[in-house]
Amino acid sequence: MHSFVYRLNGLLTFSVTILAIMCAITSLSDNLHTPSPSAEIQVMNINWFQKQPQGNDEVSLTMNISADLQTLFTWNTKQLFIFVAAEYETPKNSLNQVSLWDAIIPSKEHAKFWIHTSNKYRFVDQGNNLRGKEFNLTLHWHVMPKTGKMFADKIVLTGYSFPEEYR
């Protein structure tokens, strides 16, 4: 009962248990933190708006995205994954979400930013329903912790719409 192997086994079990408990407590400490982020997105220009040969609408737009997400960072945050998605409804689909742009924010210093960009991913509808349609732009963020539970939230900005005709 007191041989080297048994002592090693006991030591390893104990240290793994302690590490697991520490990770759990670290993750729980994230619940104590209430963030207050803010963001604003302006659609500067609809670059073009066409119907593809397969029949799906595609649009390219340029946006100004500015946000202050510094309050989302805690000591347990490894990085923040943010993305801007357009959400809209069509006759066939109750909800469509299309991710237009995303970024990884590795630290608190980078969390307050302003960027002027065109959509990183192609905005293609499932069908040709976009003419004159209203849509929301949402800024989502996913907090990826150093260890433990991941959580996500978003800000919804309304009031954007597509042009009535292709151009």
Partner 1 sequence: MGWIGDTVDSVKSIQLRQLLTQAVSLGMIVTSALIIWKGLMCITGSESPVVVVLSGSMEPGFKRGDILFLHMSKDPIRAGEIVVFNIDGREIPIVHRVIKVHERQDTGEVDVLTKGDNNYGDDRLLYAQGQLYLNRHHIMGRAVGFLPYVGWVTIIMTEKPIIKYILIGALGLLVITSKD
CB of 74 to partner 1, least distance (A): 15
CB of 99 to partner 1, least distance (A): 4
CA distance 36 to 67: 11
Q: Which is nearer to partner 1, 78 or 167 (CB)?
A: 78
Question: Which class for 143: exposed (0-12), middle (13-18), buried (19 or more C-beta within 10 A)?
Answer: buried
Q: Which is nearer to partner 1, 13 or 164 (CB)?
A: 13
Q: Which is nearer to partner 1, 8 or 167 (CB)?
A: 8
CA distance 115 to 86: 17
CB of 143 to partner 1, least distance (A): 10
CA distance 17 to 12: 9
Instruction: Give the closest residue to 137 by CA, choosing from 10, 41, 30, 26.
Output: 41
Query: Which helix (DSSP H) or strand (DSSP E) does residue 73 occupy?
Result: none
CA distance 48 to 81: 28
The footprint of partner 1 (CB under 8 A) covers: 1, 5, 23, 27, 78-79, 81, 83, 85, 91-99, 102, 104, 106, 121, 126, 140, 142, 144-150, 152, 154
CB of 43 to partner 1, least distance (A): 19
Q: Which is nearer to partner 1, 32 or 95 (CB)?
A: 95
CB of 150 to partner 1, least distance (A): 6
Instruction: Give the closest residue to 121 by CA, choosing from 94, 100, 144, 142.
Output: 100
Q: Which is nearer to partner 1, 14 or 121 (CB)?
A: 121
User: How many other CB atoms are found less than 10 A from the CB of residue 125?
Assistant: 22
